[in-house]
Each structure stands twice: as C-alpha cells, then as structure tokens.
C-alpha cells in the first residue's frame, strides 16, 4: 500500500536533486530562458527580442492517461516537481493532453477525486491529499491549468501536446485515436479543441508552442488528409494565439515526414512552423541487438535523415519530441541505439524532448503504480533514477551553434556519444582525454583528413597500439590522417608507422588511445563498438581550451618557426 513520505525524506530527496544541479552547472551551462514569444529563423528557434537561438531541451510529462491528471501528484507537490525539472537541467516540458478533456464537458468537469474514485485508486487519493491538497477537489480541467501555472511560475517553457483523443495509454494502430476519421478522432472536433486550448493559455507566456497531434498512424492514414487537416489545425491555432510555435508531426507513429520533400506545407503565416519526429530503440524492433551495431546505426541514421532530419536543410527546425531508453542500463537494444542517436543529436544540434519525467503511473495497463523504467525519476518520484544518464545528455542541452552563438570562427569538436563528453586537453603536457563539451578542444578537419588544433600547428597523431594519441607538428604522414569509416560513420581510423590500422578509443581513465578497430564485420552481431564511436561536429562556441590555446598562439608560432621550420 502507498505510504506518504515524511517531510524530512522529501527535503533530503529534493536536496539531492538540487545538489546534482549544482554539480551539473559546474560542468555544463544550463540555459534557462525568460518567457517570451519564440519564432523560427530558418532551422533555428529564436527569441523574439534578440534573435538569439533558444534550444528546447525538454522532458515529457504525461497528462493524457485515464485519470486525466499529470502523473506523480500523489507522490510530490506540483511545485516541487516543476522545480526539479529545472534543477535537472531541462528548460522545457512537453505536457500531454487528451482532446476530450477540453471538448467533453462531462469529462472535464469531474473532480480529480472523483476521477480517481472511478478507477478505484483510493491510495492515490490519499497521496494527492497529502501532497497537493489544493488540486484534489478541482475539476480535472482546472487541475491541468494548475500544472501549467506551476510550470510557468517556475520559468519552465511549455509545449502543449495533443497526445490522444480518448484518455488512455498511447499508441496502437487500432486504438481509434490514430488518424482523422478514426472512431475517436473527428477532425472538426479536433480543430475545435486546438482552438480552445490555444485560447485558454494565450495569456500564459511560458506556453511557447503547441504540438498539434501525437503519432498519426493506422489504416486510415494518408498524405492528402494530412495536408488537409494539419494545415487547418495550424491556421486555427495561429489565429487563436499567434505567439505560439506550431509543431507538426509526421505519419507512421511520427517516423515519416518524407512527403514534405515533394510538397511543402501551405500556410498563411511564417516564422512559427516546427516539425517533429520520434525515435526509440524499439522503433526498429530488435535491430540493434540482432544486427551488427555499425550496420544498424548506419541504416537507422539514414532513415531518420531521409524521413525527418532533411527538414533542417529545407529551413525548418526539427524537434525530436520523443526519444529515450530503459534507464536501468541493462537493455542492449536501447544502449546501442542511444550511442548512435546521441551522435546524431550532437551533430545536427536539433531541439528535443526526452521520454519521460514519469517515475511511475497512477494506473496503466491495468496495473496500479506501474514503474516507468524510461523515467528520469524513480518510482516514488524522490530520486533521480540514473544520474549518469542526465550527465550524459547535458552535452546536448546547450547549442553548439546558431544565431547569437557565433562566438568564434566555425570549428570542429570531437564528441564521444557513449559518455556524452568531448575530446579536450587540460595542458600541453597531459594526454588528450574526455571532458565536458564546454571545455572541448577546437579542431579543424582538413580535406587531407588531418585533425589540427585550431590556432596552432599541432595535429592529432596515432602513436602506438593501446597508447595515448599525441599532438605533433609532423602532419604529413599516414599516422596523422584520420578517416571516417564503418557504416556508422563514427570510427576515426588511422595507421601506425608499421601500417597497422587503428581506431580512436577511450581507456578506463577516459584517456584517448588507439586500439584495433572493432565491430567492422557486418557478421559480428555481439560486438559493441560504443567506445570507438566519435562524431566530428560543427561548433561556433568559444571553450576554455580554445581560449587557452589562442592565448599561447604567439609562443607556438615562435617554437614552430625556430625549431620545426623544416616540417611546416
């Protein structure tokens, strides 16, 4: 039976979350954005006042289930959850809602208490009374508004996501909620609901966007109706609230926007349109554990780009509004998928929303208190489920580039997805190692495949098998050439003096070394190449290392000219 936690345990637990925030901020900037209307500038989301990029780093908070209440309010006060979201490094929540909550008065008007009684969730009512006494006797519609108000008060940006029509778990092809014309998906009622929601929260400036519908799917889905109704829905929202971003999802469970390559969206407004896609490890079945990981990564990335990420090249922001993993760390399929996904997330620098905040559900799949292993919080919403995972995604919270972030000339950063860290150098006397991307080395990657430290004559050089790589001023031999190989395009390969092929790798101390390249054979399905996966990504951010090397540039010039002139 559920037991209300004591106030002392609550204080201790949220102290832990605050402490984690302090550690995180020391290692990575957390971007907190004061609320204001957001616009799009080509592929970027920007502030209306300054034109500076705002990167959405969101977490999904489920509020579309049978009880029609944001999950976790039986476990923690709503303001405590809102504060924890910011403290964990997120600047945004994708808050889901069921259509009928706003279009069916008989549903929206019942109290939270009655909604829980109807499902026999009496222990949850006890928790609600203890943690959120001001909410338990509100109507479920007013309770939703209270959650939005709490997020806004705590300076969290909010994306309102119409997740489903009939409250319940999503999604299947035959649940009646999948596409226009399905049993519970009347397009005219849907447009009416979008208009109501846009109007209801027009005065809440922290509501910065509306996602019109989650995961369109099922036997009725077709491109013509997608254009017909998604365009009407977008126009209705914009007319009701011209300040919010309009976020459009694709077909086939939001995996496919490829039809946009032949036929653009036709709207009467501009500067507000964002496209969204979803991707999980299970999206591709057991591909990640059954196939060679390099091969699987190449196939999935090609699919994601050709069916979704191409919109960046068309001049629209991409919002990957659902991705996530089993945070227990024991799911091989998820672990391999996420190494690959995180490389793409850093490379393309897109906006995102992690699934999910939820530690446990009031009621799901007939189970009371179902544990959500994809949740960043644990079952009782008291502790972070996997702090190393949050540290890992901290590298993609802040922009690598974009309007307002042109702090220095474009350069490259070497990103290591398995750790979420970047290659850095703490001093000229220490070996290269992994560290926070805010302190990453700035590199140039030349057509000759040399990786050179920006502002110096030093290049990356393979030395000996199993030994740290070196920085050298001799940059014309094979051991200074780094080819991007394998289907994943994430192995950096060079040759030793004896012509042995090696790949960049990481030792147990996070020192950058070279080892024999692994998992290159497509017949090898058990090998995990994660430690050897690196992404060379674009950046315009000044880092501590960049600044330090620029400061010693005159010294390097002197040494190079006087002692190594024959090599440069």
Asked whether the predicted pLDDT for residue 178 surpasses 50, the reply is yes
Q: Is the dihedral of CA 163, 56, 36, 410 positive or negative?
A: negative
- Could you give the CA distance from residue 281 to residue 497 in angstroms, rounded to a whole number? 40
- Could you give the CA distance from residue 496 to residue 463 in angstroms, rounded to a whole number? 6
Task: Give percent of the chain above pLDDT 90.
Answer: 86
pLDDT in tens, 439-481: 999 999 999 999 999 999 999 999 999 999 999 999 999 999 9
pLDDT at 427: 80
Residue at token pair 């596409």:
179
Is residue 325 within 8 Å of residue 337, measured between CB atoms?
A: yes
Is residue 157 within 8 Å of residue 206, measured between CB atoms?
A: yes
- Could you give the CA distance from residue 432 to residue 458 in angstroms, rounded to a whole number? 13
Q: Where are the beta strands (DSSP E) in 176-230?
A: 207-211
Is residue 463 within 8 Å of residue 469, measured between CB atoms?
A: yes
What mean pLDDT value characterizes the chain? 91
- Could you give the CA distance from residue 489 to residue 224 in angstroms, rounded to a whole number? 36
Query: Per-residue confidence at 29, pLDDT binned at 50, 70, 90?
Result: very low
pLDDT at 564: 44
- Could you give the CA distance from residue 97 to residue 323 in angstroms, rounded to a whole number? 19
pLDDT in tens, 100-119: 999 999 999 999 999 999 99
Residue 92 makes CB contacts below 8 A (sequence gap 6+) with 56, 57, 58, 59, 156, 157, 158, 159, 208, 353
Q: Distances in Å between the alpha carbon of 243 and those of 48, 59, 208, 229, 510?
A: 10, 22, 7, 21, 45
Of 197, 184, 282, nearest to 236 by C-alpha is 197
Query: Per-residue confidence at 567, pLDDT binned at 50, 70, 90?
Result: very low
This prediction's pTM = 0.91
**The two three-digit tokens of residue 61, written as one number:** 């908070």
Query: Per-residue confidence at 28, pLDDT binned at 50, 70, 90?
Result: very low
pLDDT in tens, 202-226: 999 999 999 999 999 999 999 999 9
pLDDT at 408: 80
Q: How many residues does the chain have?
A: 568
**The two three-digit tokens of residue 410, written as one number:** 């474009």
Q: Where are the beta strands (DSSP E) in 92-190?
A: 92-98, 157-164
Mean pLDDT on 111-133? 98
pLDDT at 116: 98
Region of poorest pLDDT, from 7-16, 36-45, 411-420:
7-16
pLDDT at 183: 98
pLDDT at 542: 80
**The two three-digit tokens of residue 159, written as one number:** 């994306």
pLDDT in tens, 277-304: 999 999 999 999 999 999 999 999 999 9
Query: Per-residue confidence at 19, pLDDT binned at 50, 70, 90?
Result: very low
Q: Distances in Å between the alpha carbon of 376 and those of 59, 74, 381?
A: 9, 17, 9
């Amino acid at each position: 039976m559920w037991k209300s936690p004591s106030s002392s345990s609550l204080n201790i637990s949220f102290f832990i979350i605050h402490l984690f925030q302090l550690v995180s901020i020391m290692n990575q900037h957390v971007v907190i954005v004061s609320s204001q209307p957001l616009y799009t500038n080509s592929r970027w989301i920007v502030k209306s006042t300054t034109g500076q990029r705002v990167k959405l780093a969101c977490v999904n908070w489920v509020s579309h289930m049978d009880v029609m209440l944001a999950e976790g309010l039986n476990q923690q006060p709503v303001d405590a959850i809102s504060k924890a979201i910011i403290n964990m490094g997120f600047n945004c929540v994708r808050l889901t809602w069921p259509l009928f909550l706003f279009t069916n008065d008989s549903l929206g008007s019942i109290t939270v208490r009655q909604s829980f009684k109807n499902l026999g969730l009496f222990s949850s009512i006890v928790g609600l009374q203890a943690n959120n006494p001001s909410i338990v006797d509100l109507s479920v519609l007013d309770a939703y508004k209270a959650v939005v108000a709490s997020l806004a008060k705590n300076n969290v940006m909010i994306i309102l996501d119409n997740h489903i029509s009939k409250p319940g778990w999503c999604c299947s092809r035959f649940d009646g909620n999948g596409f226009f014309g399905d049993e519970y998906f009347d397009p005219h009622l849907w447009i009416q609901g979008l208009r109501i929601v846009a109007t209801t929260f027009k005065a809440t400036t922290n509501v910065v966007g509306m996602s019109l519908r989650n995961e369109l799917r099922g036997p009725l889905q077709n491109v013509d109706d997608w254009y017909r109704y998604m365009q009407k829905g977008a126009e209705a929202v914009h007319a009701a609230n011209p300040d919010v971003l309009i976020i459009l999802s694709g077909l086939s469970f939001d995996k496919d926007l490829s039809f946009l390559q032949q036929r653009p969206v036709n709207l009467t407004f501009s500067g507000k349109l964002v496209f969204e896609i979803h991707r999980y490890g299970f999206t591709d079945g057991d591909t990640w554990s059954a196939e060679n990981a390099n091969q699987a990564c190449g196939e999935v990335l090609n699919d994601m780009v050709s069916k979704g990420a191409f919109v960046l090249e068309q001049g629209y922001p991409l919002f990957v509004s659902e991705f996530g993993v089993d945070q227990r760390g024991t799911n091989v399929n998820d672990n391999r998928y996420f190494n690959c996904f995180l490389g793409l997330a850093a490379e393309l620098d897109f906006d995102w929303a992690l699934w999910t905040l939820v530690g446990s559900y009031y009621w799901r799949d007939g189970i009371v208190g179902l544990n959500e292993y994809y949740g960043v919080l644990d079952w009782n919403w008291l502790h972070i489920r996997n702090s190393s995972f949050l540290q890992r995604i901290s590298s993609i919270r802040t922009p690598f580039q974009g309007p307002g972030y042109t702090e220095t000339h474009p350069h490259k950063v070497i990103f290591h997805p398995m750790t979420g860290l970047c290659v850095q150098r703490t001093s000229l006397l220490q070996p290269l190692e992994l560290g926070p991307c805010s302190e990453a080395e700035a590199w140039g990657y030349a057509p000759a495949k040399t990786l050179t430290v920006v502002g110096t004559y030093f290049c990356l050089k393979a030395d000996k098998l199993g030994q740290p790589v070196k920085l050298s001023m001799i940059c014309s031999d094979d051991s200074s050439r780094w080819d991007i190989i394998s289907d994943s395009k994430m192995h950096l390969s060079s040759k030793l003096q004896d012509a042995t092929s090696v790949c960049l790798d990481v030792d147990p101390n996070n020192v950058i070394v070279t080892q024999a390249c692994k998992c290159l054979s497509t017949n090898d399905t058990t090998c995990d190449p994660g430690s050897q996966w690196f992404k060379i990504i674009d950046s315009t951010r000044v880092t501590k290392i960049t600044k330090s090397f620029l400061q010693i540039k005159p010294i390097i010039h002197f040494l190079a000219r006087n002692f190594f002139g024959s090599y440069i």
